[in-house]
Structure 1
């Protein structure tokens, strides 16, 4: 997801920190042909409109909402809805949000927007405070929860509802979150407490009520549902890790709770109506002393190293230097206390981060819980299998870092229809998410794969020499090490995942991987393999980007046992690439100029239309276009064909890598729907239950604005959404936009 620089350490992409030094297997044998080329289509796309970029900050390609309305000709029977019946939005470097002709996009909820009438309107000049009652920063994953006209929970409510969303991070340079502070903030240590407090508060989650009046949507200030959750909010530890010695801290000597949630990225919506949030790049917020290994003298050193916090590691923002208060001390992981169990310091604080967090968006009185049974790693979204009465549920997840793994959790409980509308959503979460089995994926080169259980009963985990696991809680807290032990397959940064409601297949975005090469020379470098088959050079101007800079999307089909299956088949659905790139090694999906993309990240299937929405968070193609969102009508695993990629090796030989590629998209099955403003990531997607309103998040526009230019708006790389007429000031702000179709139809039709 968001790729901030940890400038307290180095200019390193936190997603690209490769702490996986294990020697797990990769593909090296030939794949066999797939069986079927049949394609699932919800409909064909037809339109004759021409897309032309508008000049406004929020624009529709080909014209605005004042175009003449066309009265449909009455017919005896309704015309079947045709999906993707819009003209593809062209690539763009403009500082606008562009959508197809016939659609309107409007900013709705931006960084700093007030949730309470008593909190003043946002000035957007760095002087604002009270972020406990304002929208946080870096809007990310998001879900919509319907309300009735009277304000009661109603899953089908399409004109009044709640948006629950993640606030992942904040735009920063040299420690400081510079757009939040008047003069850019302090860039040396120690950091002032007032700056630290503001930066901490813009992280976490928010819930905001939204309501449609006529054709316009707006947030509802002072709604009883509005709330903020920050890194200081009290949160329960739930599941097998609760009460374990690994999560004992000064804040919670019993190991039953932790303080807050941090760097929240992708989301999930449970079948019982709760909100799931994934904690992603949390490790970089913490520091360790240069002598901490000797002070600890135990296996916790191996755990910290595996999760990217080696001794001497500096923190992203220096929050530990804000003062002597305990809320600052908790960012220092060093063993400084004298207790044997860590109850007098924060040596174990990191073990309380890195989980799927569950919240009831409707009810503030219910405790928020970290669901430890789902494992601890750099979580993205959490996608549920299609519920079937009497069958177990699966939750699919990815670990977003180079050469990390794909996971799923299978519930012990089987699905009961009554749980779709429970009296207590969090108690229902206890039932399904606190007991079950965690699996990691191992993919074979013949297009099959195995889900390997991470449990103490697994002999490979018992025998693992690099780390001695004590119990199930230890396995879950150190899921990466457990996955190393069983030889799971290293992937090209598993990001969001989503389940196709039409057939239950699971799609994972593999955003990119700069550490894949034909001729590996170090432990972190990997040769291309069947599921991650590309290693090439992509030029961005005069700069060479090596590895798999454009990413791809892989998909799984479960074997016997549905959600509880322990085997699957797989293929590569789409490869990101420039349309003009070599079709034999790079543009393997034959993408055209209306379809090409780089670094797929956000991914969601519409439960209403079946469209697969693909969002990008890219740095490789941004000399040609800003990040984007595409609409796709996918087929199914096995609908394509085998392909062989040939690479010249350093020894003068040939490396042949076979892979399977899904059926090539057509103009009717894949096209660009949206392009965002300069420097932004397109992320977070949710729809109203009638499919007629879509909410999208625009994250960190103008993120590469230099700190030195904070006083000169003309030097901001983006001024969105101020340049679209939204809000005060000119500093760029992450924001939620609302998209509707001018004729009142469903989005994507």
Structure 2
């Protein structure tokens, strides 16, 4: 052992004799110097407090204490709303601040590196918490964290319902603005004069056409010649011009409309050119939206524009004309109603009531039977191509010049002196209409293609189903006439996502739209349904299988798909109009506008899918009979697959007056905030913004004649549920002593998830809707305001009066408007 008495050198007391576990001063100092690193790795400010503030300050007088801060945000918000995350420093000196998301669906934080940040609440299907952390850093790098949780609920309709109105103005909810963008006659090409709007204007091949209808917005890339799916400040609006209000197109109205009269050629050409399609560049600047006159992409497609045919009917004898003896080419498109935006960035326009434009003389049935056989007469009659002078008596006008057959082509009467196959006259010209026509809006030199595989009918648009890689896509269509059918076309080719950005867009259309199977729907009373294939050689679709019509081949089936649908036993519907597909669920909705022929019993008897027939008495006197107010039907494909041949269905909502009989008419429990009549236009918000995600907003537009004694036509916003969310109701229809009861499958009452968003001006139809990709600008078409008036009796001054009093005698004009939220938010939510 060590001798305690052994001599040692001088001892100044620097000897450790404390055997306890208490910290040494040197350890305390070392710990203090490494405090920043320790805190940066997650030790809280409480550790610093443990060492004692005065002692630590004495060891490092330049060191700042940790910042103390508070952080907050709303406890709960609905999807689509802007959310503010707020931080505040309560002590210490702040060097940096940053917000970090810690949980929930990812959002884009604006001003994340500051005390106050914001984000737009995402779309969710159910209440979903989102976690955030505010990190504040002191001058010496000490970081503290504060947590915030915001619960996001599904989107809601965030506006006060617009009341019904008979005023001559577009009314929208408080907090929204309306801008008139593109009107009848507005000049498209550079150098074309402003529209005089007094009947003297001409050259509508370079002006906006009339009766604005179905419409799509295509974003423009920075190059200005290619698509951009996200550009919300510059794009192309492509829209249909369905028809004309001829009384306002001429100085004193049209002349020579009656049978036996002769129309002036100039008047006829003007009226023809007002039909068709517009492609127009639009931009958004600090003052809002405007269209670009003189843009190289601006284009009018009229009844004179060259077109081509593709698919199974191209080149068939049914399309032979003097203009195209081999049946591969045509001229123009007419009565374009609804539309469809293809996933590869093309525009499809639908030819609807084209049959009425054609002339057939009194003896044409005999001539046609002699030249083409009775099949031709049967087919013409089935499509409404009866004996008549044709809309607006166009063919009475003289040819513009020798050999110019632009007017003559609308005379379908057989010329017995010409070849029996139709290559010498225009007996087959009606067969060149009634198709879906695909247009590339980014190439003004491209030729529109008529896609014959999708069938020929009174086409009311074409809506793609969800595009899923490796699955064959479907395209849904309605045939707009009483007692007609709902169709879908399923491509032979499975979807490849790369095709969405292909440079040759019409070639992609060839790939998906020229080969496939056309189906028609049959609805069963138990809520199930079948898609019946319209394929030559299957079932009754043979030369001898159907007594009414002998089908010759697939071209015959497609050209006369109404007859084919009759043959296979499809369900006759109450005027199927627009189709729309919920981008989140894939469920398809279809507006059934109305049916004045629907009765409790007989040939047009009520059934489960069309369960109402009733008498509606007007406030102004008189009454209407049938399914007066229409309804919206929806279906869900088996296994949610576009390739399915079965589905389930119910009725999303029945149009009705709020005070109508709740048991048999107002089946959806509508009230003053959401009652409507005659649904027509239908569209879901784009999935590129919150309004089109998770629980998307659906927009319903009306073309009404039954409720116009109470209100002008309107547009409603809805957040629909799912097929099967309601119940079965027993509905009794009674008309003129006849009565019948059916079981109707009725969706959950919409309640506050359906609201009136817009009411239009006098005499109009609301039709056509699209939006910018970000959802902050909604484009809507107002068609034929002042319908029924003339220069001597002007019944509307819209849109001249939208922002003030119009000058006396101003004629109304169809026009596109833009609706935006005053706070810049997403429209509707």
Matched residue, 2:800: 722
Contact 2:80 2:826 in 1 (8 A): no
What is the alpha-carbon distance in structure 1 between the residues aligned to residue 734 and residue 212 of structure 2?
43
RMSD, matched Cα? 2.0
Matched residue, 1:137: 210
Give CA-to-partner distance per residue, 1:546-565, whole Å, 9 cap, x none.
00110000000001471011
Matched residue, 1:657: 742
Matched residue, 1:122: 195
Matched residue, 1:330: 409
Secondary structure at 2:796 match in 1: coil
Contact 1:97 1:676 in 2 (8 A): yes
Contact 1:201 1:231 in 2 (8 A): yes
Secondary structure at 2:365 match in 1: helix
What is the alpha-carbon distance in structure 1 between the residues aligned to residue 623 and residue 734 of structure 2?
18
Secondary structure at 1:465 match in 2: coil
Give CA-to-partner distance per residue, 1:443-465, whole Å, 9 cap, x none.
11111111000011222222011
Q: 2:660 aligns with which of 581, 588, 598?
A: 581
What is the alpha-carbon distance in structure 1 between the residues aligned to residue 215 and residue 773 of structure 2?
15
Matched residue, 1:169: 243
Q: Where do residues 496-575 of structure 1 align in structure 2 (5 Å cutoff)?
A: 496-520=578-602, 525-540=603-618, 541-560=620-639, 562-575=641-654
Structure 1: any 5+ residue segments left out of the alignment? 1-41, 47-71, 172-176
What is the alpha-carbon distance in structure 2 between the residues aligned to residue 698 and residue 101 of structure 1?
20
1:220 aligns with 2:292: yes
Secondary structure at 2:507 match in 1: helix
Displacement of 1:190:
1.1
Matched residue, 2:64: none
Matched residue, 1:683: 767
Matched residue, 1:342: 422
Contact 1:571 1:637 in 2 (8 A): yes
What is the alpha-carbon distance in structure 2 between the residues aligned to residue 658 and residue 155 of structure 1?
44
Give CA-to-partner distance per residue, 1:63-120, whole Å, 9 cap, x none.
xxxxxxxxx9989567747431110011100000001111001110000000012110
Contact 2:591 2:682 in 1 (8 A): yes
Moved more, 289-298 or 571-580: 289-298
Contact 1:45 1:86 in 2 (8 A): no
Contact 2:613 2:734 in 1 (8 A): no
Matched residue, 1:621: 707
Q: 2:323 aligns with which of 251, 257, 267?
A: 251
What is the alpha-carbon distance in structure 2 between the residues aligned to residue 672 and residue 328 of structure 1?
43
What is the alpha-carbon distance in structure 2 between the residues aligned to residue 178 and residue 106 of structure 1?
26
Displacement of 1:428:
0.3
Change (3 A) 1:704 1:620: same
What is the alpha-carbon distance in structure 1 between the residues aligned to residue 390 and residue 384 of structure 2?
11
Matched residue, 2:157: 84
Secondary structure at 2:271 match in 1: helix
Change (3 A) 1:620 1:44: farther
Q: Where do residues 161-560 of structure 1 align in structure 2 (5 Å cutoff)?
A: 161-171=235-245, 177-186=246-255, 187-188=257-258, 189-297=261-369, 298=373, 299-310=375-386, 312-324=387-399, 325-336=404-415, 337-462=417-542, 463-520=545-602, 525-540=603-618, 541-560=620-639
Contact 1:266 1:381 in 2 (8 A): yes
Secondary structure at 2:751 match in 1: coil
Secondary structure at 1:460 match in 2: coil
Displacement of 1:647:
3.9
What is the alpha-carbon distance in structure 2 between the residues aligned to residue 365 and residue 128 of structure 1?
26
Give CA-to-partner distance per residue, 1:652-691, whole Å, 9 cap, x none.
8x62210110001122x11010000001011100011111
Change (3 A) 1:561 1:738: closer
Q: Moved runs in structure 1, 4+ residues, more than 6 A?
A: 72-75, 649-652, 726-729
1:673 aligns with 2:757: yes
Displacement of 1:381:
1.4
Displacement of 1:43:
5.2
Structure 2: any 5+ residue segments left out of the alignment? 1-76, 82-115, 120-147
Secondary structure at 2:562 match in 1: helix
What is the alpha-carbon distance in structure 1 between the residues aligned to residue 733 and residue 459 of structure 2?
33
What is the alpha-carbon distance in structure 1 between the residues aligned to residue 118 and residue 514 of structure 2?
54
Matched residue, 1:736: 816
Change (3 A) 1:473 1:586: same
Q: Aligned pairs, how many?
A: 666
Secondary structure at 2:313 match in 1: coil
Secondary structure at 1:350 match in 2: helix
Contact 1:519 1:649 in 2 (8 A): no
Give CA-to-partner distance per residue, 1:462-508, whole Å, 9 cap, x none.
20111111110000000100001101100000000100011100000
1:596 aligns with 2:675: yes
Displacement of 1:725:
5.2
What is the alpha-carbon distance in structure 2 between the residues aligned to residue 478 and residue 383 of structure 1?
21
Instruction: Please report the TM-score for the alignment, with normalisation by the length of structure 2.
Output: 0.78
**Structure with the greater alpha carbon radius of gyration:** 2
Contact 2:717 2:828 in 1 (8 A): yes
What is the alpha-carbon distance in structure 2 between the residues aligned to residue 449 and residue 280 of structure 1?
26
Q: Which is bigger in relative contact order (C-alpha 8 A, separation at least 6)?
A: 1
Give CA-to-partner distance per residue, 1:349-406, whole Å, 9 cap, x none.
0000000000001112222100000000000111111100000000000000000000
What is the alpha-carbon distance in structure 2 between the residues aligned to residue 426 and residue 698 of structure 1?
30
Displacement of 1:723:
1.5
What is the alpha-carbon distance in structure 2 between the residues aligned to residue 451 and residue 215 of structure 1?
50
Displacement of 1:132:
0.6
1:156 aligns with 2:230: yes
What is the alpha-carbon distance in structure 2 between the residues aligned to residue 107 and residue 650 of structure 1?
46
Secondary structure at 1:199 match in 2: helix
Displacement of 1:531:
0.5
What is the alpha-carbon distance in structure 2 between the residues aligned to residue 224 and residue 74 of structure 1?
39
What is the alpha-carbon distance in structure 2 between the residues aligned to residue 566 and residue 322 of structure 1?
49
Secondary structure at 1:246 match in 2: helix
Change (3 A) 1:115 1:344: same
What is the alpha-carbon distance in structure 2 between the residues aligned to residue 45 and residue 420 of structure 1?
27
Contact 1:45 1:84 in 2 (8 A): no
Displacement of 1:150:
4.1
What is the alpha-carbon distance in structure 2 between the residues aligned to residue 476 and residue 559 of structure 1?
25
